[in-house]
Structure 1
Amino acid sequence: MRIPLQLAVIFAICLAGEFLHRIVGVPLPGNIIGMVLLLILLCTKVIKPEQISGVASFFLNHLALFFLPPSIAIMAVGDDILSKWPLLLFLCIAFTLVTIAAGGRVTQFFIRRQEYRENLALRAERLSKRAERNGTIGGEK
């Protein structure tokens, strides 16, 4: 897919996210909704990664440029930030800890789920071997 068409696809998804935000009133920014829509479309294979890879690679290669405006804005309000640095430091540490804890809980959930599935498969295998040994199928001789 050519670059302008790839860009149009990404912008259309972003606009769909903005539309959903304004119409439905979801308490998430439109660009976040757009990213979730893009993820859903990629996971369901409605959009293949190759269809947007050119533009996505460009954006990833030039990601640092997208941080310049916010960085300059932070420098412009530096005095305000300096007066509130203890609160900002506390919030940064608190949210880092919350993020680490949430990531750990999600990881534990998926590990337990995987172990549960493996245990189910082992039980089923043992039962089938026991049934074969006893010459039974479904508990009947």
Structure 2
Amino acid sequence: MQFLNGITLLLVYQLAGEITVRLAGVPIPGPVLGMVMLFITLWIRGRTPDSVEQASSALLAHLSLLFVPAGVGMMAHFDRIADEWLPITLALLCSTVITMIATALIMQVTTRWLVKPDSSAQGGSEQ
């Protein structure tokens, strides 16, 4: 029953994200917004409910199965992929580089924001 409660909660957040995106016209996928909403809720609560933890662990254990439809789609459209391999490759490379740069910059900003300077390392010696 815990698993069912957890999956239901995850799907409710996904639905809430979809509804919010449709009503607000935000250019973000609904499941992504739902995941952000779930993250904020869990952050405010300070802990993860057992049902959500159990459901998410079960989903992560079978994550590889979620790639099967994408693989089948690639095989079904292999001719188109072969015809347009250069733009696809360039898009993948550019997006990867942009993502790595954005991740590094965000990490630097949040590290500076979260890490407080140590007063003893400021150069003053206490006697």
TM-score by length of 2: 0.84
Q: Shift of the alpha carbon at 1:46?
A: 6.9
Question: Could you say what the CA RMSD is over the residues aligned between the two structures, in angstroms?
Answer: 2.6
Note if contact 2:2-2:50 (Cα within 8 Å) is conserved in structure 1: no
Q: How do residues 32-111 of structure 1 correspond to structure 2 at under 5 angstroms?
A: 32-45=32-45, 48-111=48-111
Match of 1:139 in 2: none
Q: Shift of the alpha carbon at 1:41?
A: 0.9
Percent sequence identity is 28
Match of 2:3 in 1: 3
Query: If you compute each CA radius of gyration, which structure gives the higher value, 1 or 2?
Result: 1
Aligned length: 127
User: Any unmatched runs of 5+ in structure 1?
Assistant: 134-141
Match of 2:28 in 1: 28
Note if contact 1:21-1:30 (Cα within 8 Å) is conserved in structure 2: yes
1:52-89 deviation digits (Å, cap 9, x = unpaired): 11110110000011110111011100000111111111
CA distance in 1: counterparts of 2:24 and 2:112, whole angstroms? 36
TM-score by length of 1: 0.77
Q: Shift of the alpha carbon at 1:113?
A: 3.7
Q: Shift of the alpha carbon at 1:23?
A: 1.1
Q: Shift of the alpha carbon at 1:29?
A: 1.1
CA distance in 2: counterparts of 1:105 and 1:46, whole angstroms? 27
Amino acid at match of 2:117: E
